[in-house]
Amino acid sequence: MTDIFKKDIETLVKLQEAETEIVRLKAVLEKVEKEKIKLSGKLKLFETALNANKEDLASVQKSCRDLETEIAMVDQRIIKSNEHLRMVKTNKEYQVLLREVDDNKKRKDSLETQLLEFFDEKDNAQDLVTQGEKEYALLKDQIESEQEKVEQKCVDDKQDLESYLAQQEDIGKYLKPILMNRFAKISKMNNGNAVVQVIDEVCNGCFMNIPPQLYIEVQKCTSLITCPLCSRIIYHQ
């Protein structure tokens, strides 16, 4: 019976060694992933600002087109009014058409002044977009390069993780399902630390003293014992 429990403990210890590395490597890879997301977020913020500038440029361009269309329409009205002036027969009609021409010319002058202002605004918006696109391209290349470097650093860690996961699965085959389930439950409760050694009556999981009688039982290795304080499986080397 003692030999059976010793084998179980030895298997659990090996399983714990694999589990410890798995937890460590997952934390490393999670940190790497967060770093990549942070870099992507930086690029996304710049992209959002650039898109806002593009929208402003599109809005100003539309305003310019609308003004140009309206100026063309006013021009047509002036031409028609001038044509009618040559055909009027009464002074009253002549004066009405003359006022129309004058009003349309004033309207055209006002629209052209607005258009010039929009042209200046459009040039400024275009400069912002052009400069932003250049900076975005540079930042994109820089971030993609940094992400690639970050990714390269964790290639070995990914391979190691796969290896330890395979080891964990292989080791688990030598444990009874009830023990494997118990290990998994305790591991989940203690951030991957389910099996710990007891040295000089001190649990290396919570670093608290265990009762002397329990320490004797752990040394005998005739049953699976858990720490009364942290619930980890404890063993004596």
Domains and CATH numbers, the chain: 21-161 (1.10.287.1490), 176-235 (no CATH)
pTM: 0.67
DSSP-derived pairing of the beta strands 225-226 and 195-199: unpaired
Q: What is the pLDDT of residue 167?
A: 94
> Cα separations (Å) of 25 from 3, 28, 124, 160?
33, 5, 51, 8
Give the model confidence (pLDDT) of 73-129 as tens digits.
Answer: 999 999 988 888 888 788 888 888 889 889 999 999 999 999 999 999 999 999 999
Q: What is the pLDDT of residue 133?
A: 96
Q: Which of 229, 182, 183, 177 is nearest to 206 (CA)?
A: 229
> Cα separations (Å) of 93 from 41, 99, 195?
68, 10, 106
Share of the chain above pLDDT 70, in %: 98
2, pLDDT greater than 60 = no
When the pLDDT of each residue in the chain is averaged and rounded to a whole number, the result is 92
> Which conformational region is residue 158 in: left (phi greater than 0), alpha (psi within -120 to 50 degrees), or beta?
alpha
CA 222 – CA 204 distance, rounded (Å): 20
Q: What is the pLDDT of residue 1?
A: 36
Identify whether the C-beta of residue 187 lies closer than 8 Å to the C-beta of residue 193: yes
Q: What is the pLDDT of residue 98?
A: 87
Give the model confidence (pLDDT) of 52-79 as tens digits.
Answer: 999 999 999 999 999 999 999 999 999 9
